[in-house]
Structure 1
């Protein structure tokens, strides 16, 4: 385990402000819609911290870097932000990118509070430098598997792109479903067109297809092909990674994008803070905020409390993770050591399986609660 050495945590480039580095996907091939929501939450929380007097009388400053879903770009950004004297890192949506950022932050002795990356193995070895708000993939995707079984789906097909994240999701589903009589058929989207995928689905006998692929391509063409194939009229389409959450999904797919269950990390009722933040985020985004926006806000809420209580020394911040107790938008946030997870983990944020209502596509139906 890498324990925080105090000497390299003390330097700070600009004493006039307390700086936090933010890693956010804002351009393609990153999921820019998710990045915009994440950034909106981060920026709103920073503004509120500063309106309340900042950190020890100093303003909190967010230094934003676009990762564009590129791990190498993220690694370079971590190096740059460390040189600029940030007290900590925040953010990142894409799990594979977050994993690279976490490894580099660990190597540099730079605290990193990951907002949205869910890969269980966020770091190869246990570390004290990294904490995470989002639930581990194994936690959320097992809940999704339970939803599938409860809805009568035991033979599942996955349309998968090559990725550590998608491979991990497939393995979690298979391991959780198999002891309960379920099975997973993997269909490699490198080798299949959407039309060929439909032909394969007819032969597999699967009653559900999960989209373990990027958005908008090939997710949108796949959904359109399946929805308009009369042979597959009873097939459930699911997207555990949350592609249907954001407006871009609805604008590209319309009615075809409804009734596609996905995971989101929201409670049945937001906290009083969450209700206030929801209103402010809606105004900022000119749309309903996704759970990703709340993750961004909660990230800064936690870091601000740590900075107020433990100062801007990097080692002090990393040493504070197990003592955090912050009321967030979705419940009280505390970090602990969780079996199989090498970072400090909020165990657990609320988890729901929801879909867009066919009768009212901008309304979400809660189908299952973990």
Structure 2
């Protein structure tokens, strides 16, 4: 465990200067650009509100943004860069494999990192005091999703997947949870099968559900189109636990074919007054309904601002404050704790929903299960 701060971890922000926060965001391909745009909107809105309220002890909060482009090596280099620029902490990132790389580097340098949106359970290889996370662990959310499948009478599950620690972890979680409850999981390789060959395999296996554990828009979009146009698979449930249908791009590209595909998102059934207010501000900035990722961004900066006000800008003091956090976020009161099997301080848990886009109105989401 890396508990003793390195020289970087002992860093103090210069008196009178702005308080800098490093932000890791996927803003270019192959990163999930729409998720990055929503995340950045939430981060930036929260920084604006902190500064409108007087900043951090009278000093402005400054967001220093780095585009990760879904590249783990680029993210690690960005943490190095941000540490050298004197940031008090690092925040953000959507892609789990990228966040894992950033977390490892932040731990090594002694830089506090608040991960807003990545869910991979093993965000670090060993327990660390330097990293905390808002998003629920993958094992928590995907077990809820597996229970939804069973409740919908779907026991023969096929997953179409690509090589990735994240997808492999998700497949393992689903298989273990479903096997203990009478379900089965078969893996199909998206890199080896054309969408048409995939449809044949689904028929051969008698699958009752297909889960898209693949990138967006490729190869997810052509797979959905092929399955939706195959009459043999008219009764097949298509699902996307990683959340591909959350963003407007999905509905714009797929139209009616993109509706009725259940996915995970991390919002309560009804937002409280704070969430409603922030949601309106985010909608104005984005020009569309904000995703849960935008709320995660706002919550992350708000948590860090509270820590900076109460514990100062020393990096070791910030990391040491994780257990003391009790901040009202857009989706509930945020507290961090030690959770079995997870090496970072974890909010256990944000609200979890299984939702889909209504086939009669693709802009409306139907809540299918909560957890």
Q: Does 1:163 align with 2:164?
A: yes
2:129 maps to which residue? 128
Structure 2 stretches of 5 or more lacking a match? none
Matches of 2:293 and 2:248, distance apart in 1: 13
Q: Deviations over 1:229-274 (max 9, x none)?
A: 0110000000000000000101110000000000000001112111
Matches of 1:4 and 1:302, distance apart in 2: 23
2:293 maps to which residue? 292
TM-score by length of 1: 0.99
2:81 maps to which residue? 80
Matches of 2:303 and 2:50, distance apart in 1: 11
Q: Deviations over 1:28-63 (max 9, x none)?
A: 000000000000000000000000000000000000
2:249 maps to which residue? 248
1:107 maps to which residue? 108
User: How many residue pairs were aligned?
Assistant: 370
Structure 1 stretches of 5 or more lacking a match? none
Q: Deviations over 1:324-355 (max 9, x none)?
A: 00000000000000000000000000000000
Matches of 1:364 and 1:5, distance apart in 2: 45
SS in 1 for 2:224: helix
SS in 1 for 2:146: helix
1:177 maps to which residue? 178
SS in 2 for 1:336: coil
Alpha-carbon contact 1:26-1:36 (below 8 Å) kept: yes
1:141 maps to which residue? 142
SS in 1 for 2:180: helix
SS in 1 for 2:297: helix
Q: CA deviation at 1:15?
A: 4.2
Matches of 1:80 and 1:369, distance apart in 2: 40
Map 1:1-370 onto structure 2 (within 5 A).
Answer: 1-5=1-5, 8-12=9-13, 15-370=16-371
- Please provide the CA RMSD for this pair: 0.9
- Structure 1 runs of 4+ with >4 Å offset: none
Q: CA deviation at 1:9?
A: 2.0
